[in-house]
Chain A
């Protein structure tokens, strides 16, 4: 019937055009481990999925190591704080790997209130030949046991198990936004809106508060901490960014409470660009030290800035991510996009920086050549092994073919989380509930 065919047509296009994923599948963090062998993702449903790079085979050199699912586990569950009548979301805000020290892998994962240390280990052998129970686990009747035998380890199908080794809880009144492992590999910091706490990885019932910006009178609150990170080499140095667009570098050797910064990075506001939303767009959403420890990178709503640790009064480099949005701030404020927190990453050699944008676009900036590129993470536009085509946003005037106009951008498709392999040119990009892994093309 005509109606039926119409319904079918509607249903088909509906399913094709609307990527109906449950909210729990939305990826909320991605992180390579320090060797790049493993890639972890956390999602809104509190799950962690770990991918492992398969060994490159000599027989198929063109088939570079691909990432396959290695382990999946439920890291955090939704909780309810009965005292404050607040629900605690299970969404994984951050994952940080510990450098590998033995056969097992360790990572820290955190939601709004609790940090957990997970051990991921392989089991490929199991003991067989017990005396008191048979291989199925059933207890043997003692009267049937006539001789003793020594159990032996037999190979079994590889099993990857994740166990929670430590749970660091009840240390944060406000929502945790970041965690960072120290280069001493013994301590780490967890940061919420107003405080930074220092933990020892072995001790779960105690943490030290090292930064506290909570004012005596909450009415005087003007800024919050948005992210914090340890220096990659100096175990006594860490930096934290604020909602006012400033970064503070602190030295833990100076005092137990690091309220007094030793360096303060802030760029004076350009009065010509002042608008209603100046405070919102200057809030820093991510801060990352470069691998060599000489630079800091910060991301605010419209730009990425690279700071030299020796120069506090202005950034070394400023890159416009999507300046065409400056004229649309009011609409972005109404649809809440202006509050989106984009992350930024360095490549292994600190020569290229990357960050996400809308319409599933992500941007890369080469610091040496000053060239930049916009790429898109989408299934329609990229088949496996196809080379990504650079994209361009038309900012007015005549729109060329292949360009996309600002008004056609899909603001529901945002790339907030990206990560770069520590040594190679492999990147992982999270686009809502999909994970894209891109590699350099093989010559």
Chain B
């Protein structure tokens, strides 16, 4: 039964916007997704590795994931520019504020939605929340809920990476965005010197945690 097939597959189909994609973009997207999933798997399994987390390896995995994510979104944008009516998909692309906090330069290229273009003020720094349109407001509000740390995590979040929309989501949200605790920051918390101060949470996350 087709309905019995994994929900992941359905999500993939919805999110990839098959109708409007070129086959080349499709290949890049699929490849990028696979790479991201593998990277996440490796990052999670490295926590149980003997000898503790390896900073170098974790860094390389994070870079690969970021690179794959960038290419995935680029491919998405190329497809979306061919289909401007899909506002739903555009919102799925938008990065969480968590990510904005960590990659200020990256945000300017990543935010492609009409809302931010209309405002003409791309977000650059975590503190500068430029919210001008209702679509952005709604997205931010929903993102803030998504930014709530998962109940089992004792760690502060840091270099948060956005989990792509095709992975199963614990919260039933339209955007299906999950914030993944950075393994790098876990490493820092595990191995930081005595007396090291934890990084202060950016403002948006503090609100989410309340």
Contact = CB atoms under 8 A, between A and B. Distances in A.
B191 A279 contact: no
A102 interface: no
B11 interface: no
Nearest to B42: A336
Contact of B51 (A85, A89, A283, A334): A89
Interface in B45-93: 50-52, 54-57, 59-60, 63-64, 67-68, 71
Interface of B is mostly: helix
Contacts of A219: 101-102, 158-159, 182, 184-185, 199
A120 to B, nearest CB: 27
A130 to B, nearest CB: 48
Nearest to B36: A276
A224 interface: yes
A376 interface: no
B130 interface: no
A49 to B, nearest CB: 22
Contacts of A86: 51-52, 190-191
B50 A276 contact: no
A87 B188 contact: no
B10 interface: no
Nearest to B60: A280
B60 A84 contact: no
A276 B32 contact: yes
B199 A217 contact: yes
Given A87-B52, A243-B59, A330 B35 contact: yes
Contacts of A198: none
B162 to A, nearest CB: 14
B67 A279 contact: yes
Contacts of B101: 219
Interface string B167-210: 00000000000000010110010111110000100000000000
Nearest to A91: B51
Contact of A85 (B42, B54, B188, B190): B190
A409 interface: no
B38 interface: yes
Contact of B64 (A193, A194, A221, A277): A277
B27 interface: no
B193 A173 contact: yes
A208 interface: no
Nearest to A111: B51
A86 B54 CA distance: 12
B64 A333 contact: yes
A261 to B, nearest CB: 20
Contacts of B59: 221-224, 243
Given A175-B51, A175-B55, A219-B158, A280 B64 contact: yes
Interface string A111-127: 01000000000000000
Interface in A62-105: 83-89, 91
Contacts of A83: 194
Contacts of B185: 218-219
A280 B52 CA distance: 20
Interface in B4-49: 31-32, 35, 38, 42
Contact of B55 (A224, A276, A330): A224
Contacts of A175: 51-52, 54-55
Nearest to B193: A173
B68 to A, nearest CB: 5
B55 A84 contact: no
Contact of A283 (B60, B159, B194, B199): B60
Contact of A89 (B50, B63, B68): B50
A339 interface: yes
A279 B68 CA distance: 12
A226 interface: yes
Given A279-B67, A333-B35, A339 B60 contact: yes
Nearest to A194: B55
A226 to B, nearest CB: 7
Nearest to B39: A333
Given A276-B32, A330-B35, A333-B35, A218 B188 contact: yes
A4 to B, nearest CB: 39
Contact of B71 (A84, A276, A336): A276
A169 to B, nearest CB: 15
Nearest to A338: B60
A174 interface: yes
Contacts of A336: 42
Contacts of A278: 67
Among A84, A221, A224, max chain B CB count under 10 A is at A221
Contact of A279 (B64, B102, B158): B64
Interface in A317-335: 330, 333-334
Contacts of A276: 31-32, 35, 64, 67-68, 71
A284 B14 CA distance: 40
A217 B103 CA distance: 12
A174 B191 contact: yes
16 contacts: A84-B52, A84-B190, A84-B191, A85-B190, A86-B51, A87-B50, A175-B51, A175-B52, A193-B56, A219-B199, A223-B59, A276-B32, A276-B67, A280-B60, A283-B60, A333-B38
Given A218-B158, A219-B158, A279-B63, 18 more contacts: A84-B52, A86-B191, A173-B192, A173-B193, A174-B55, A175-B54, A175-B55, A177-B56, A193-B55, A276-B31, A276-B32, A276-B64, A276-B68, A279-B60, A280-B60, A280-B63, A283-B56, A330-B31
Q: Which are the 7 A-B pairs with shortest beta-carbon distances?
A: A89-B51, A86-B52, A219-B159, A193-B55, A279-B63, A218-B188, A219-B102
Interface of A: 83-89, 91, 112, 173-175, 177, 193-194, 217-219, 221-224, 226, 243, 276-280, 283, 330, 333-334, 336, 339
